[in-house]
Amino acid sequence: MYRDDQYRLVHCQRGLGFLGFLRVRFISISTALFMVACVGGLRGLCGLSCRFCEANAEFIMSHRPNLINDLNSLIGDAYGLEPRDYDANSLFEFALESVAEPLSNYVLHSVLECSLYPSLFSMRLIIESLAVGLYADRWFGNAWPGEKLVLARGFEMGRFKRCGEYENEDGHGLLCSQYSTLGREVNEALSWLRDWLRNNIGAEPMDFIYETYNSLSKPIHAIAMSNGGVLGALRTTMLDYIRSKIGIPPMRTTILPAECEEDDLVILDAIHLYALLTRLSMDMLIYAWQSIVKKANNEKLTKIRARIKEAIKRINEVYSRSNVKKE
């Protein structure tokens, strides 16, 4: 490794912390990616990614400084609310540690590379993985995680919302009962949150979690579920590129790093709101799991409740500020 590459790697790992928004314990997944790239002979790509990362950090801090702070809070809750009494048979705990924690890092990483499409996918996967973990732990008890994955292989987030469609169909009665019962239990566990959700969102706790997940799915499906497979994805990407040339802010559809521009501020604002909603949904799922599956006492729930209230406060602050801008 050349001296300039060594410096660049150290700068990628530590220089962002110098800007004051990466905590030491929450090292981004980009650290590992940069190490592999530099050591593995892809020094050019590593350097390019890091240069964009540095430039975008300065751009975002100057235009949307609170975005970085709120992404850091998403990371902080993912790590900070991890249970201390680890259960090796819990699929929820596995999902939190092995999916939600690294992906919360990756949301920040993708934003700093202005590769914004992956951040949506990552936030969606955080919610879905924790939801399936809650579902599996609730209904399949002490089965080991691999067995729970098999038992929950037909899991669909949409059934929390659409379960009524299957009530009278053969083979779906028990399945529908599981989703309906768990949805009610989540609503009851988070009953103290209902007033705020009803007044501001117009939804029950489980409906809010699903709607956040669903809103993240819509822009993703434009690529992931486009007709024509790869050609459909390329067609969508090309149309996005053409629209960007006539003044419509681009939605980046690749994971290659890019330099953030003024047009990206619209998307960054959307990412900001999604990050706040994802943080709240994640914290609500952690609270529900602790309450329903772990039967946690009030002392353990108090810490999570405080994080939920903090997330709500940030949503209120950012949302009210965005309304002032529109006016």
3-state secondary structure 79-125: HHCCCCCCCCCCHHHHHHHHHHHHHHHHHHHHHHCCCCHHHHHHHHH
Average pLDDT over residues 123-141: 94
Judge if 109 and 35 occupy the same domain. no
Per DSSP, the residues of 264-283 read GHHHHHHHHHHHHHHHHHHH
**10 Å Cβ neighbour count for 134?**
24
Residues spanned by the domain of 203 = 65-326
**pLDDT tens-place string over residues 301-322:** 999 999 999 999 999 998 876 5
Q: Looking at the structure, tell me whether residues 162 and 191 fall in a common domain.
A: yes
Residues 158, 36, single domain; the answer is: no
pLDDT score of 292 more than 80:
yes
239 has pLDDT over 90: no
Question: What is the rounded CA–CA span in Å between residue 98 and residue 59?
Answer: 31
CB 53 within 8 A of CB 60: no
Q: Which of 63, 78, 112 is the last residue in one of the domains?
A: 63
- The answer on 83 and 46 residing in a single domain is no
DSSP state of 7: H
Which among 63, 85, 105 is the end of a domain?
A: 63
Using a pLDDT cut of 90, give the percent of the chain over it: 41
For residue 266, the model assigns a pLDDT of: 87
CA distance 293 to 307: 20
Mean pLDDT along residues 130-135: 95
- Give the whole-angstrom CA distance, residue 59 versus residue 46: 20
Which tokens hold the place of 122? 């990552």
Residues 138 and 42 in one domain: no
Q: Are residues 105 and 215 in the same domain?
A: yes
Last residue of a domain, one of 63, 83, 110: 63
For residues 182 and 165, membership in a common domain is answered with yes
pLDDT digits (tens, 9 = 90+) for 68-122: 999 999 999 999 999 988 898 999 999 999 999 999 998 998 898 888 778 888 9
Q: Are 73 and 154 in the same domain? A: yes
Domain total of the chain: 2
Pair (114, 237) in one structural domain = yes
In this structure, the answer to whether residues 72 and 45 fall within a common structural domain is no
**Same domain, yes or no, for 108 and 239?**
yes
Q: Is 44 in the same domain as 163?
A: no
